[in-house]
Amino acid sequence: MKRDPVYGIMAEFDSATALVEAARRTHQAGYNKIDAYSPFPIEGLAEEIGFHRDEVPLVVLIGGIVGGLTGYLMQYWMSAVDYPLNIGGKPYHSWPAFIVITFEMTILFAGISAVFGMLALNGLPMPYHPVFNVPRFSSASKDRFFLIVFSSDPKYDPAATRGFLQGLGPRSISEVPS
């Protein structure tokens, strides 16, 4: 398949309010493959572009359960199965003494899953991305807000989409080469 030379069309906005409004109208107009970029998290923006399934909590839950089981079973197996050692007459399987490490391992695995799960779901690290080809995009990490309609969107049409975005009152419009 031949790669589309255009990745999408990007509109630049001045404020968070303008971006949220533009994202809502673009999504309502039937564009589904869109994304919004902002220099800080904006509550509700992800929902406006049609993002509803955040799997991070599930990943963390699984990580925590795996960590807890690993912690407990590791101690049980090492102290009661593989190398039973009598310490002051305490039972080999001294479960109350195993709670602390079980807890720490739960936190450790859940925390690592949160960070690496989030990065993996976001597809990071990704040093190259077409949006960086737009020179104005460097302000997305400072004080500007961007909305993009990807060329892979079924409704995408170079002229019509550009005209639609123009109607949202952006500060500028750029074509994003892929």
Partner 1 sequence: MDELYKAAVDTQAPVMEPGYTFGTVTEKISAIVLTRPASNGWFVGFGIAFLLTMMMLYAIGYLFLKGIGIWGVTIPIGWGFAIVNFVWWIGIGHAGTLISAILLLLRQSWRNSINRFAEAMTLFAVACAGIFPAIHVGRPWLAYWLFPYPSTMGVWPQFRSPLMWDVFAVSTYATISALFWFIGLIPDMATLRDRATHPAARIVYGMLSLGWRGSARHWHRYETAYLLLAGLATPLVLSVHTVVSFDFAVGIVPGWHTTIFPPYFVAGAIYSGFAMVLMLAIPIRKIYNLEDFITELHLQNAAKVMLATGLIVAYGYGIEAFMGWYSGDRYDAFTIWNRLHGPYAVPYWSLLICNIFIPQLLWIKKMRTSPVALFFLSGVILVGMWLERFIIVVVSLHRDFLTSSWGMYYPTRWDWMTYIGTIGMFLAAMFLFLRLLPAISIFEMRTLLPEAEVKE
Cβ neighbours of residue 39 closer than 8 Å, sequence gap 6 or more: 140, 141, 142, 143, 144, 145
Q: Of 37, 150, 156, 164, which one interacts with partner 1 (CB under 8 A)?
A: 37
Cα distance between residue 16 and residue 3, in whole Å? 33
Which amino acid, residue 136? R
* Nearest-approach distance from CB 2 to partner 1, in angstroms: 25
Q: In the stretch 89-128, what mask flags binding to partner 1 with x, by CB under 8 A? A: -x---x--xx-xx-xxx-xx-xxx-xx-xxx-xx-xxxxx
Q: Decide: is 66 part of the binding site for partner 1 (CB under 8 A).
A: no
Judged by CB, which is closer to partner 1: 132, or 172?
132
Cβ neighbours of residue 134 closer than 8 Å, sequence gap 6 or more: 10, 174, 176
Instruction: Quickly list DSSP for 122-136.
Output: TT---S--GGGGSGG
Residue ranges that bind partner 1, judged by CB under 8 A = 15-17, 20, 23, 35-46, 48-49, 51, 54, 56-57, 60, 71, 74-75, 78-79, 82-83, 85, 87, 90, 94, 97-98, 100-101, 103-105, 107-108, 110-112, 114-115, 117-119, 121-122, 124-129, 131-132, 137-143
